[in-house]
Amino acid sequence: MKGLFSFTFNMLLTMNKLYIITIILIVFASSCSDKEEQDDKYLIILSLDGFRWDYPDEANTPTLDSLAKTGVKALSLKPCFPTKTFPNHYSIATGLYPDHHGLVLNRFHAVDLKKNYSISKRETVTDGDFYSGKPIWNIAEEQGITTATLFWVGASADINGEHSSHWGYYDEKLPWQARIDSISKWLSLPLETRPRLIMWYFHEPDATGHEFGPNSREIIAIVEQLDEFLNKFFTQMRKLPIYDKLNFIVTSDHGMSQISPDKIILLDEVVDTADLEYADGGNPVYNLKVKDGKLDKLVDSINNSNKHITAWRHGMVPGEFHYGTNVRTLDLTVVSDSGWSIYWSWKQGKGLGTHGYRNTNKDMHAIFYAAGPAFKNGFSQPTFNNIDIYPLAGKILNLKLPEVDGKIDNVSEMLR
């Protein structure tokens, strides 16, 4: 009897052990597959500044064409207003309109902080106080995904005390090849430090577009050179053992408009500058701080001066522009029609191209290409907003995202 009891007891014990071991194995295996599934997902986003949506129609761009064939090409990417570099790169990074993330222009006085922000002053671009919203690299880091940035707007700032794991101070002179080498190096790191989200940037064809205009031979030449650079980049990426897991986005912040000396409005000939406290911005978009009691007079004088310039009061910018409610946009937002320049008589611009106009102007739209295991093959995406890139990136990397202005529904069709 005792023998039978101990046999049964031992058997139960063994079964129990087996059961426990099986459960442990199942839990371990599923956590491994979750981890592997997560580790499989990489996203590398490149912004080529000022790459207008239709440049590839004019130039020879075999690398971009092959991205479109194997992946996704959008008809165009609609930037946020104002169509300037800093507001838009930070909109891509946060999924928020400039009114909501606080970089309302490239240079502005932050009334709320009593501080000036300027893209050319390192102490301001690195000051996290200016930046609202949560950039996607910080979201990813918080959720255990290592990230790297190479000169993306906002990435050199401590935003809520956080940073991407790999980043550097802006250096426009860093050659293209050195940028590719950094990315190859990062993607060859051991798993624990290897980034799975990389956001990098190059300042062309914006610089050439400003100098020679979007209709120039020089633009065709730089666009073709960038396409060759891209070819070098992808050739190097193909050598990586994880190449098959890499998703790529090649995009831009805005387009470019041709400007000319016969389409110039001098703001100081339109307004009485004695009525102004100060003005932020540059051709063709400004925010004005107006002296007490002078607002009506100023709005009337601008709106009755030339039909190609418009002034909107704070809070009265048409809803489609999602702008003019942030305290940093001051009392008045002034913009001209595409192709028209707004200068001060003492500060006129050089060059044949600019941007900053309403985002409803098609020449302000940018490129968007994507390819990799997450994307469909040969998919034509209709025009969409650049703030939608944030939920798109979040979906690819399985991130939990806060509520933002961008919407996944606008872009989910391009995913497999």
Please report, as ranges, the residues that interact with Zn ion according to CB under 5 A. Answer: 49-50, 85, 206, 253
Contact between 85 and ligand AMP (CB under 6 A)? Answer: yes
**What number of residues does the chain have?**
416
Contact between 101 and ligand AMP (CB under 6 A)? Answer: no
Q: Kindly give, in sequence order, each residue whose CB lies less than 8 Å from that of residue 34, ignoring residues fewer than 6 positions away.
A: none
Contact between 36 and ligand AMP (CB under 6 A)? Answer: no
Contact between 170 and ligand AMP (CB under 6 A)? Answer: yes
- Binds ligand AMP by CB under 6 A, chosen from 74, 93, 96, 153: 153
CA distance 414 to 32: 28
> To which residue do tokens 């034509």 refer?
380
- Binds ligand AMP by CB under 6 A, chosen from 106, 147, 208, 341: 106
Contact between 203 and ligand AMP (CB under 6 A)? Answer: yes
Residue closer to ligand AMP, measured from CB, 153 or 180: 153
Contact between 41 and ligand AMP (CB under 6 A)? Answer: no
Residue closer to ligand AMP, measured from CB, 97 or 201: 201
Residues 43 and 187 sit within 8 Å (Cβ to Cβ): no
Token digits for 253?
């912040």
> To which residue do tokens 């902080």 refer?
113
Q: Which partner from the list ligand AMP, Zn ion, none does 125 bind, CB cut-off 5 to 8 Å by kind?
A: ligand AMP
- Binds ligand AMP by CB under 6 A, chosen from 38, 66, 70, 119: 119
CA distance 370 to 70: 9
Q: How far is the CB of 175 from Zn ion (least distance, A)?
A: 20
Token digits for 139?
């979201």
3-state helix, strand, coil in the chain (%, to 5): 40, 20, 40
- Give burial (CB, 10 Å; 0-12/13-18/19+) of 382: exposed
Contact between 107 and ligand AMP (CB under 6 A)? Answer: no
List interacting residues with ligand AMP (CB under 6 A).
Answer: 49, 84-85, 106, 119, 125, 151, 153, 170, 172, 201, 203, 206-207
